Structure 1
């Protein structure tokens, strides 16, 4: 299999310690490429939708966008209403609200989209940030592996609903927006070292333990990164990277780098005394890690482009698998079937456990 030549990254490890060590290397070798967005870049009049915004990176993104004048909708499973009150206090912006959603349950995702549609809310900036790394494999409400459901399938359903229901509209059809609508996916460099998606067992539930957790995390982020690239192609069919014209939708993805957050809250108890001080000492704060997200979401220049991938503040290529149009088309079609099965369920469409086959499409 041809390897991606994008350089070292902090993932693809079977060891948590190995992953943490390489993440530190990544952070210190990846500085000074792009400048953080200045405070003068404002987004008054724009509505920002952020998943997983009650803690960590998502909360810092919400505070930054609120400081820039945006109307903030925090879509979260918990932390309601206290996290929203914190964002108001820290930003000085009272135009902040929270809506409850459990991204591991597609019924909850559908209900969220129904709420936005029924209220006539139009989203200008969508930041799909929510993420998790469970200690062991777990099933979502619909029976899928949890990270596959949260990192990918929920985002697929949200984007389907946002576009189909007119919650987000293309630049060419929206005369009230001053800038191109943005869709930002918070992915991970973990996708770079993942094998190609196994479409023979697409959506099948997989059992794993701590040793395999990082591998499956990377696989779920490969699904997300591939989806980001394919969505960019689907929604901007005439995109010309040499043109100065705004795109219909500016769709970007990024890895924020190692963050001192609670995403590893399910790490083994014996590792926490080691991981906690390392993260506090060497990893970026959520506020610092939010900088590339805010750049993609608010920079005027990024409104003229689509399909950009950042690793922290450096622009680079997403993996060869993620940018492969054939892989993107297969992912689109395969996930479309899963969404259709969810909307019109039958007994034969429930997720099955994976077999031992490792076959992947040519």
Structure 2
């Protein structure tokens, strides 16, 4: 049984590589003439790899770009300005491994009365062995799921992300997930949030599990924000396939001579991998749809565990309990919308609060 599970994990991971060569796209790239002038886009993990390529693409299309990155990358913003030819690029500091840092970012956005039209949740990690976040959670669980849950809760509560006015397009939340989520059987709620001490052999297992958390959350968020079927905030997800990025920068030294040539040969460059992200952010129909999953440039279903509405509802409840000491609720209307409460949703949409 253990060998079978391990083989399934390898197959799920390998599909991201193989599908790049054998899977024929059914969606066309978004033309360069499609513009985002006047729209505010926030991209996490935008200082390198795919996130940086996304930042350049959105800035080239005229977006007001907010690059949310860890500190220590002062040149990243200047690179994006130079590559895109846009000066409407700002850098914001956030460490998604620290929920207090997430709150600090949200405090700033609320204080500056920012409004975000397109939120791209790209940041990711893959440590070589188990590490703890600032609050003591397993690092991938914290960065891929918990931080995004807190970030979105706050942006909704503070009105930074809110349903479109009549003169504004539908806001979009775009999750960068992974086809590797299929390697995880299901979420074990009996050990939900508990720190898992793993080594190199089990790293892929916990990476897949963290992506299952994220996929399940994305689908549940879509259901709660759009309970009547009318898309008021479009919540969609995508896997860009295998990308030549720094995600595996913590790989052991003895594997790097094998990994890096393979990456250059088999993995797409960040620039080449940006197409499905651009589609989710810019394609007109994606603003009218929610709960869509793209793998490369094809639509497909997530795994059954990720699509399970009962698992999504339980994930929401369990994370509510887990994060009770970290959340800072805002307006009642916003909280009602995130909870799927219809009265709260109406208040949120009209800007009313109790």
* TM-score after normalising by structure 1: 0.86
Aligned to 2:166: 175
**How many angstroms apart in 2 are the aligned matches of 1:284 and 1:264?**
14
CA displacement 1:237-290 (0-9 Å, x = unmatched):
0116xxxxxx10110011110011110001111111111111112211101111
**How many angstroms apart in 2 are the aligned matches of 1:32 and 1:183?**
23
Q: Could you tell me how far 1:79 is from its partner in structure 2?
A: 4.6
Aligned to 1:258: 242
SS at match of 1:217: helix
Tell me which of 265, 278, 283 is aligned to 1:299: 283
Q: Is 1:232 paired with 2:222?
A: yes
**How many angstroms apart in 1 are the aligned matches of 2:88 and 2:305?**
40
Q: Could you tell me how far 1:21 is from its partner in structure 2?
A: 5.1
Give the count of matched residue pairs.
Answer: 323
SS at match of 1:98: strand
CA contact (8 A) 2:109 2:160 kept: yes
Unaligned runs of 5+ in 1: 1-9, 241-246, 345-362
**How many angstroms apart in 2 are the aligned matches of 1:228 and 1:19?**
20
Q: How does 1:252-291 map to 2 (within 5 A)?
A: 252-291=236-275
**How many angstroms apart in 1 are the aligned matches of 2:324 and 2:228?**
27
Aligned to 1:212: 202
CA contact (8 A) 1:54 1:79 kept: no
CA displacement 1:301-330 (0-9 Å, x = unmatched):
111100000111111001111111100000
SS at match of 1:139: coil
Normalized per residue, which structure has more helix?
A: 2
Q: Could you tell me how far 1:341 is from its partner in structure 2?
A: 2.5
RMSD, aligned CA: 1.7
SS at match of 2:91: strand
Q: Is 1:342 paired with 2:326?
A: yes
Unaligned runs of 5+ in 2: 1-6, 329-354
SS at match of 2:71: coil
Q: Could you tell me how far 1:203 is from its partner in structure 2?
A: 0.5
Tell me which of 64, 68, 72 is aligned to 2:61: 68
- Structure 1's consecutive aligned runs of 4 or more residues displaced over 3 angstroms after TM superposition are 18-23
CA contact (8 A) 1:11 1:218 kept: no
CA contact (8 A) 2:38 2:63 kept: yes
SS at match of 1:183: strand
Q: Could you tell me how far 1:127 is from its partner in structure 2?
A: 0.1
Q: Could you tell me how far 1:296 is from its partner in structure 2?
A: 0.4
